[in-house]
Structure 1
Amino acid sequence: MLIVLVMFALGLLLGFIGAGGAGVVIAVLTVVFGIPIHTALGTSLSAMIFTMISGAYSHFREGNVVVKNGIAIGIFGAIGAFIGAQIAAGLPAKELKWMTACMLLLSALLLFLRIFFANKGIFSRSESEEGPVGISFWLTASGLGLVTGVLSGTFGIGATPFIQIGLLIFFHMSIHQSAGTTMLVILPIALLGGLGYLTAGHLDVLLLFKVTTGLIVGAYIGAKFTRRLDPFILKISMVAVPIFGGLLLLFGR
């Protein structure tokens, strides 16, 4: 029951920021509840299937989802996620733990730069500009999908910040659209990534049920606040979540 309650609390936050939250879920399962890292990776990534259905639907109802972009990127991301899961299965637990932590901290840094230095360098492209079209759209979608999919499958983190940054930079979405569309992108990524961990024997069905029960309810409710709270709170939360997960993995027991 404790796992369910903790996951519900995390779900509220993750639904609000439009994050799959696999990284912070992995950190909590591994450090707080003592779950082996490979099992935590497979379980948390699989749990995102159900969390994303709930969260993406809620964001769609709120008008935060660009459906075409989400589906296109998600298809290529799913392919990358299955490949990444096979890579993770061959990595030792200790190395996988700190690599996942480093990826979370890197993602937080990239999000911080994009959100708070929006008018600098590569981040200066306005969200009012049109995104890529035609062949350029498919090349961009496939590239973003494959890269983030491999990251998701290998480290089980969902690659939420990387997807959001890609949507913000290359598809010129608003902060709200990037949050909602990311949930749709992660859905097929979680599906094939979870399948990859299942075939590798790193999936705990009972743990999956507990994690999913808490996250799915929390994510649906949390998504209701994305447009209702100050955008500054959303920005701070998007950066803080991966930092928390990374530090927990690095310095937790």
Structure 2
Amino acid sequence: MIIIFSIEYIIGLALIGIVAGFASGLLGVGGGFLIVPLQLFLMESIDVDPRISMLVALGTSLAIIIPTSISGAYRHSKSTSNMVKPGIKLGVFGIVGSLIGGQLASILPTDILQFIFGIFLICIAIYNFLTINKKDSESKIKFNLINAAIIGIGIGILSGLLGVGGGIFVIVALTALLGFALVDAVGISSVYICLTAVGGVISYIVSGWGVNPLPYSVGYINLINWFFIAICSVPLAYFGANVSHSLPEKRLKQVFAIILVYIGLRMLGVLP
């Protein structure tokens, strides 16, 4: 496989970093829900094999999420003092789950991965539309070690499988089940995905070692994609986190839901 990374390709990576970084800080979701499909579309435009491009998009997304989410978490920690402890508690279990999810992704067919990705995004978008006028939820379950393990590992598996850091799912769990306000959930989520992404990255490096023919890669982590997306996404994540604290919760949910519907439909092939 001969792949040439053109200047147009590099510009495309930078644009992905700008958009995904801002979304990451704004919504506390790591940006993977944008980084994965946009990388996939970009690599397919230079004729990378669809199976390889999907796994590289997933693995590299998790590697990008680590510095991006750290940037967002740092900003959120200035405004949300109680986010670090629950974020770490969930994240430790998330590492275990993401290791499992990464291994599952390496054996599942590409079209199945895309279908699962699209369906989950649309389901979460629907949830946000249905709860757009809902005030802070009451806690339905206690935030103890057992529930943290169940939520952390379960979401971690989805994180590794879909290359999304898990922030999308953590926010839903924190607000719908544990009664956290959205702004607090965004902060906790940014800590969680810092840790969970590590497990997924390890899994994608191991499963792609000696298999991925794309140049400048470590396993399924492509260093060209990682560098140019991360260098733009990290500062934009900090900026997006600043913006999130100035927007009303209802507006955040609207932005979150609309983006998820669009990306989900594209992954399902409904939109061009």
TM-score (norm 1): 0.88
Which of 202, 206, 230 in structure 2 is aligned with 1:199? 206
Structure with more relative contact order (C-alpha pairs < 8 Å, separation 6 or more): 1
Q: Quote the sequence identity (%).
A: 27
Deviations 1:205-246 (A, max 9, x none): 121111211211111111001111232221111212222221
Shift of the 6–125 alpha-carbon distance from structure 1 to 2, 3 Å rule, reads: closer
More helix by percentage: 1
Partners of 1:8 and 1:81 in 2: CA distance: 25
Look up the equivalent residue of 1:48 and give its one-letter code: I
Structure 1 residue 24 corresponds to structure 2 residue 34: yes
Partners of 1:104 and 1:64 in 2: CA distance: 29
Residue 30 of structure 1: how far off its partner (Å): 1.0
1:85 matched residue in structure 2:
102
Structure 2 counterpart SS, 1:195: helix
Deviations 1:2-49 (A, max 9, x none): 111332123112211111121221111112442611110000111101
* Runs of 4+ with deviation above 3 angstroms: none
Asked if the contact 2:69–2:190 (Cα under 8 Å) also holds between the matched residues in 1, the reply is yes
Structure 1 residue 178 corresponds to structure 2 residue 194: no
Which of 128, 134, 139 in structure 2 is aligned with 1:118? 134
Shift of the 111–48 alpha-carbon distance from structure 1 to 2, 3 Å rule, reads: same
Look up the equivalent residue of 1:41 and give its one-letter code: L
Structure 2 counterpart SS, 1:228: coil
Residue 116 of structure 1: how far off its partner (Å): 2.3
Structure 2 counterpart SS, 1:109: helix
Structure 2 counterpart SS, 1:173: coil
Asked if the contact 1:85–1:196 (Cα under 8 Å) also holds between the matched residues in 2, the reply is yes
Partners of 1:213 and 1:175 in 2: CA distance: 28
Asked if the contact 2:122–2:260 (Cα under 8 Å) also holds between the matched residues in 1, the reply is yes
Gaps in structure 2 of 5+ consecutive residues: 1-9, 209-219
Which of 69, 75, 88 in structure 2 is aligned with 1:58? 75
Gaps in structure 1 of 5+ consecutive residues: none
CA RMSD after TM alignment: 2.1
2:255 matched residue in structure 1:
237
Partners of 1:95 and 1:184 in 2: CA distance: 29
Larger radius of gyration: 2
Residue 64 of structure 1: how far off its partner (Å): 6.3
